[in-house]
Amino acid sequence: MDLLRAALQREIEQLRTWYDLAVTRRGRTTMGVSRLTPEEMGTFIGAFLDGQAPPNPRSDIPLAALFRYAVEDLKAYYSEALAAQPGHSSVDSTTLADWFWRDTTAGRVLFAVYEVCKQSAVPGMQMVATGLLIPRARSAESPFAKA
């Protein structure tokens, strides 16, 4: 899991220039509800890979809510970074979803975190994991799914 966490952080760093370019071009971002930086999101989400909930970096909202917001922000970060790259300015939602869930470390991390969080004792975490983390259309793609 350490390798997966490190790969996620590297991927986030590699996308930073594209994300910053997207924000500059558009003058705004759809990311931010978690109030975590992309690097903090990677660390926070990646911490769930250990099978236990990490400390909540925000005392104003429950851990499950912050987890949900961080996942949504991470997806926004990735989609904005992709859209800034040459040839992707008008990428459709299917192409974006295929790329995110099939080709990124973030997608692999979320599939792995899903397996952990759906059994969590943290209030609300099972609901977030089973109802909101992985789109139903993508659940069969999990590299962790039982055959």
Looking at the structure of the chain, the number of domains it has is 1
Residue 146 resides in a domain: no
> In terms of residue numbers, what domain contains 112?
2-141
pLDDT reported for residue 107: 94
Residue 38 resides in a domain: yes
The pair phi, psi for residue 60, each rounded to 5°, is: -90, -10
pLDDT digits (tens, 9 = 90+) for 82-122: 989 887 767 788 888 889 999 999 999 999 998 888 888 88
pLDDT digits (tens, 9 = 90+) for 53-88: 899 999 999 999 999 999 999 999 999 999 898 877
Alpha carbon 131 to chain centroid, angstroms = 15
pLDDT reported for residue 147: 41
Contact 96, 135 (CB under 8 A): no
> What H or E segment, with its residue span, contains residue 101?
none
Residue 98 resides in a domain: yes
